[in-house]
Amino acid sequence: MRSKFKWIFALLLALSVQVTFAQEKTVTGTVKDSEGFPLPGVTVTVAGTNKGANTDIDGKYSITAAQGQSLVFSYVGLATQTQPVGASSNIDVTLKAAQTDLEVVTINTGYKTFTKRDNPSAISTISIDAIEERANASVIQNLQGQVSGLSVSTGSGQPGADSTIILRGVGSINGNIEPLFIVDGSPVDEDGFRSINQNDIATISVLKDASATSIYGNRGGNGVIVITTKRGKLNEKMKFRYSSQYGINEIQGLNIELMNSRQMLKLEQQYGGGLGGGKTDAEIEARAKQANTNWADIFFRKGATQTHDLSITSGSEKTTNFTSLSYFEQDGIFLNTNFKRFSLRNNFTGRSENNKFTYSLNYSANFSRQNGIDGAGTNAIYFAPFSAALRGLPYLSPYDADGSITMDGGIASGDASGITPDKIPYVLLNSVRMNTDIEDEFKMVTAFNANYNFAKNLTAGIQMGVDYSTFTTKEVLHPNSILGPFQVNQAAEFGGIQSEGSTRDFRFNTTASLNYNNTFGKHNIDVTAYTEYNKAHYDGINFQVRGLDPRLLGTGAAFVDFNTQELGGEIYTPTIGSFKLQEGLFSYFANAQYDYDSKYVLSGTIRRDASFRFIDDNKWGTFWSVGAGWSIDQEAFMKDKTAFNLLKLRGSYGTSGNQRIINAQYSGLNLTRTLYGQGGGYDSGNSTFLTQLGNSFLQWEELKQANIGVDFGVWKNKLSGTVDVYVKTTEELFQDRPVSPVNGTSIIQANIGSMENRGIEADLKYVLYDKSNWNISVNANASYNKNKILELAPSFEGIEFNGGASALIEGEPVDVFYVQRYVGVNPANGNALFLDAEGNLTENMLDADRVSTGKSVYPVWQGGFGTNIGFKGFEFTTQWSWMADLWRNNLDLGTVEETNVIDDGGNRATSVLTAWQNPGDITSVPRVGNPFNSVDYINGTDRYLEDGSFLRLRNVSLGYSFNSKTLEKTPFSGVKFFIQAENIITFSSYRGWDAEAGFRSTDRGNYPTPKIYTFGATINF
């Protein structure tokens, strides 16, 4: 009986296996793109199972599936497609562009990767098309107007200049206000992007709310921007991509009308000063005909821009590789300024035979050189070209007798009588031609990542990264230049200065992790524990030598021996300095996320940080967050019954921090220590004195943020977007706190006070038309942020004012303009009229009559919009950016409207011709000789406080791509030609070179953002 049972059981088992194999079969096919090319590396999975495969180099795949199941085909950048398995064993698929597929949008947080559907946080992503092939030296500049809530402003148009980035408002008074940047998993310097090739970038994710940023602890308080670079694909044939651009850049238009020679001479004649003072009309007419110089035409030029970029991608069954080489060069619009960059990148990935072990190595090396001028935006009048272009007297000729641009205007080297304010343009031309100002940077960013799936549902990982930069600077003021002899002693044999400096910045980061991920039924759980260590070292050396032999300039042999005795002593003694700093951070943290049926997502993060900056109990801080998402469109009452393809409600609350309590990477390292110095004391004896009173209770600033958001897609995602509302509060603000002078100081740095940012953000995209070879879409984003100081140190009694034009006031934005109100000119006597604190008219300028204007340098509103139009091979795109309700003082205008004096060696705006002259005159320009100068008005009143709002056509591009049929008999797989322009149209009421200002409070001869026009080509083969 027992043997019969065994026989029957074996028969049933065989029948069962036979039935099973009868149900499953091998399905094969080919996956191609919309142009008919095979796609290697496409992921093919059986829906609802762990079965998967990848297409090979010819786009072919093979997978086992049963009839009635479905195959899911997915590829980054293309729309995911699902095909049911029927009677046929062959399924061929064509994947189209994922222009309206929100499900495949990849969101990278640096530690995790999500799709739009399973992301519970406020995170924005930027497509590579929005930043690639742009003609700016830094990719950061390309982000302006691309993401709601992200304010990007470049304070200088000098090639290679850094930008200021603010996310969801200013979060600190004295500390760091910019986001943390992560490149391929490694934190990097936010000011180092001029040395990174933007064409290497694959994705950019902007992390906004606490649910996304708290995992970065005390570095994530101002948001996080995560950048990943390009990689090859598995089973991909070797491909080459060459891209090149060439073009020109030029200065923005000036909307201040300056006087010509005749007007300026007549003004001087009228008030008895300058060259025109005392001249007859005939003499003025004769002089005006000799020269009528627009100094902007002399100082500024049309510079050239060129780029060359070559990338190579390849992939085998288990490895991928991406290699790129790039050269970028851009001339500045001012003479002798330019920027050059060489970059190399190699990204390699590999995996084991069983796919359980994966690793990657990303390496980039970049060298850049910037030739510039340090005087732009400063009061160094002999080195400030944009101030000189405004103030340069039009009746001075820029030419020598032979018709060439003058080198010195006839001023001899060391001639003190020739160095007067009216000769500034000549001194500047001399400095530009003869002096040297070079900054070289070598930057290496390397990241290694490895993961091992050592047990079911368990994966261990390690990440290591290095951001290493060296800077060398060299400035030479030529001994034979006009200013050269004054650098030592006018009577000395040798003049000139040579200053050099070299710094090294090494930042190391390593993270170890253990991840548990399991799916059972409709449930998915993902839990990861981490430890992280960050260490940074910064050192440098510098020297300055006064006294150079012009015959040997350029080498150390030009340095005059410091033992040389001259003018009664050793006057050529050099100065040498060095420094060495370090900082560190140790952390352990964990993140968990739960997903049910792709409907409900719940996440939580907790992190403990130990900072190098703080001591005792304040060394450690705890940061945390919770977030949740509800995909309403997946509910039975919504699914397939409405126009919504995506409708997700998100909410989060949590904390993060800011350990950089002073706005620099290596700042505030010793503030917990009491320090002493040595110096002269009573009766010339040596004394020890207090230099810093330590505060052992210092800690990081803490940010608390609540966020509610909605993600949606309607009508097959023709209309899609995101809306977020947030409240962000900064507590334990780092700021000055008055103490009794009995302590040896009247101020101590402390954590006290709070600040709030409230705002709303919206991102929208609408596909207007997508058929008959046409694709037309529009996009827009906008944000509103209201910044307010909630609390200052009690001893300030609600207001901290230390001079200048701004103050810290409870209930007002940070650095609000705190000035006296200017209302015009007294018709009776031509003096300026102001309002006192009570609103009464007065001619007195007093600090007691200052009031808060409610106006700040930071925008309340900002955003952008654009269009994308495609027809067959043609593509036309525009991208506009705008900011509104931001203010700054316009000293450029104030300088050329100066009526305190006329004969100060500078030109004037034509508006000065309307200055008050006789009783009864109605004008906005005070009389010549009024008691206040332009700096008085800037520091004490709102006369030159102007609205810096602007709307700018940031980029416009027209391109044509040849189709595959046209190229089928050529070695090329793709060819595209394009023309584009940057910053070509700006609408603003602001008067000056450039409405964009980098959030500075005062414009004073700053380097404006240029217009850039380029023509380019991209060739794939």
pLDDT tens, position by position, 783-815: 999 999 999 988 888 999 989 999 999 999 999
> Is pLDDT of 603 > 80?
yes
> Is pLDDT of 17 > 50?
no
Give the burial string for 76-95 (b: 16+ CB within 10 Å, else e).
Answer: ebbbebebebeeeeebebeb
Cα–Cα distance for residue pair 533/508, rounded to 1 Å: 8
pLDDT at residue number 20: 38
**Beta strand 436-455 with 357-371: parallel, antiparallel or unpaired?**
antiparallel
pTM of the model: 0.86
365 strand-pairing partners: 344, 444
Phi, psi of 430 (to 5 degrees): -65, -45
pLDDT at residue number 707: 97
> Is pLDDT of 208 > 90?
yes
pLDDT at residue number 158: 82
> Is pLDDT of 4 > 60?
no
pLDDT at residue number 966: 87
Mean pLDDT of 957-986: 91
Per-residue pLDDT tens over the stretch 30-58: 998 776 677 887 888 887 676 778 888 77
SS3 sequence of 538-589: EEEEEEEEEEECHHHCCCHHHECCCCCCECCECCCCCEEEEEEEEEEEEEEE
Cα–chain center distance at 188: 13
Cα–Cα distance for residue pair 106/723, rounded to 1 Å: 19
Give the burial string for 822-836 (b: 16+ CB within 10 Å, else e).
Answer: bbbbbeeebbbebbb
Per-residue pLDDT tens over the stretch 649-676: 999 999 998 888 887 788 888 888 888 8
Per-residue pLDDT tens over the stretch 574-593: 999 999 999 999 999 999 99
Mean pLDDT of 873-896: 94
154: exposed, middle or buried (Cβ count in 10 Å: 0-12, 13-18, 19+): buried
Least confident of 66-70, 110-114, 166-170, 478-482: 110-114
Cα–Cα distance for residue pair 953/878, rounded to 1 Å: 7
pLDDT at residue number 23: 60
**Beta strand 180-183 with 224-229: parallel, antiparallel or unpaired?**
parallel
Least confident of 34-43, 229-238, 403-412, 461-470: 34-43
> Is pLDDT of 309 > 80?
yes
Residues sharing a CB contact under 8 Å with residue 778, sequence separation 6 or more, in sequence order: 765, 766, 768, 865, 866, 867, 868
Cα–Cα distance for residue pair 127/205, rounded to 1 Å: 9
pLDDT at residue number 95: 86
pLDDT at residue number 989: 93
> CB of 656 within 8 A of CB of 218?
yes
> Is pLDDT of 6 > 50?
no
pLDDT at residue number 345: 96
Q: What percent of the chain has pLDDT over 70?
A: 95
Cα–Cα distance for residue pair 549/568, rounded to 1 Å: 20
Least confident of 212-216, 345-349, 564-568: 564-568
Residues sharing a CB contact under 8 Å with residue 975, sequence separation 6 or more, in sequence order: 961, 962, 967, 1017, 1018, 1019, 1020
Query: Domains plus CATH for the chain?
Result: 22-94 (2.60.40.1120)
Phi, psi of 613 (to 5 degrees): -80, -20
Q: Assign 683 a pLDDT band (cuts: 50, 70, 90).
A: low
pLDDT at residue number 379: 60
Per-residue pLDDT tens over the stretch 733-745: 988 787 877 777 7
